[in-house]
Structure 1
Amino acid sequence: MNGLFSLKPEAVMIASATDKQDVLRQLSALLASVYRSDSDLVAERLQERENLGSTGFGNGVAIPHSRIPGLQRPVAGVIRLEEPVDFNAADGLPVDLIFGLLSPEQSGMSHLKSLAAIARLVRDDKMRDRLSSSENAETLYALLDNVTDRDAA
């Protein structure tokens, strides 16, 4: 991911969700808490983006994203769901990996480059399978951290 965005260990979790709205609520709360943002604003902006069209990327992955004021650089959070939920993804498959991305309000290319880095990561079938089968948040973070280290080399 080449250091394009910040991903803190505490921004990675395993959770259960009942539906897409529940996922977005949990993701908003996680991102707002870890990166000290206004949770209502994060939820509102992620929902506004989702209303434009599903961020269900395909192959069991969703990448809800938005821009918000007050950030210095893009930040991410990751949730692996215990059971997949319908996310209206383009391929019709339910999702169990959610990568949330928040970028500074005026970011242009850094937001797009961060989205592209996440998309490249989850296009790798083996990596996606390893992420989806992670037993706990620590393992999930370690896999992502190793990718970051490898990409930076």
Structure 2
Amino acid sequence: MNIYSLLDNSTILAGLKVKNKKELLNEMVDALSDDVTKEQLEEIRDSVFEREEIMSTGVGKNLAIPHGKVKSIEKNYASFAILKDPIDYDSIDGEPVKMVFLLAGPESKNSTHIKLLSRISRLMNSSAFREALSDCETADEIFKAFHAEEERYFGN
């Protein structure tokens, strides 16, 4: 499964303005509202916040990959944001976060969830790709950048 197929213009937030981690995570989850029910949205929100309490998903390099699994969904959903201004996120390197990739998946498909998280990490680990993303100004540009990078990196 490719990452760009999980994203579309409604789930990509370019130049997002938020004040803190809580506001950011709420915006990221809310971006999924066109694809899931209100109940599923709240389950995703709870799961993401619960996961964040266990350990910060700020992985360093100004990137966070919040994620959660819920019983009520059958497939994976994602949102991606580039923040207008970086925020504190309790990242492992102590640096603020500028890019955030949120992944929500079904509890029943743990191996797929882990594979997707790994794929996101590998993609986002590329400093050239992060730089290319930071030059994007619209959701469409970000989507095209993900598509091109996955084609280049994974040959999809």
Asked if TM exceeds 0.5, the reply is yes
Question: Does the Cα contact within 8 Å between 2:76 and 2:105 map onto a contact in 1?
Answer: yes
Query: Which 5+ residue runs of structure 1 have no aligned equivalent?
Result: none
Give yes or no for the alignment of 1:3 onto 2:2. Answer: yes
How many residues matched?
151
Query: Which 5+ residue runs of structure 2 have no aligned equivalent?
Result: none
Distance 2:88 2:136 in 1: 20
Deviant stretches of 4+, over 4 Å: none
Distance 1:118 1:96 in 2: 16
Please, which of 30, 42, 45 is the counterpart of residue 43 of structure 1?
45
TM-score of the aligned structures, taking structure 1 as reference length: 0.91
1:52-131 equivalences under 5 Å are 52-131=54-133
Distance 2:7 2:137 in 1: 19
Amino acid paired to 1:96: K
Which string of whole-angstrom CA distances, capped at 9 and with x for unpartnered residues, describes residues 1-37 of structure 1? x426622332111211101111011011112x13214
**What's the C-alpha RMSD, in Å, of the aligned pairs?**
1.6
Distance 1:49 1:89 in 2: 14
Question: Does the Cα contact within 8 Å between 1:6 and 1:73 map onto a contact in 2?
Answer: no
TM-score of the aligned structures, taking structure 2 as reference length: 0.89
Which string of whole-angstrom CA distances, capped at 9 and with x for unpartnered residues, describes residues 46-99 of structure 1? 100000010001101000000012322222110110000011000011011010
SS at match of 2:84: strand
Instruction: Give the percent of matched residue pairs that are identical in Structure 1 and Structure 2.
Output: 26
Amino acid paired to 1:10: S
SS at match of 2:89: coil
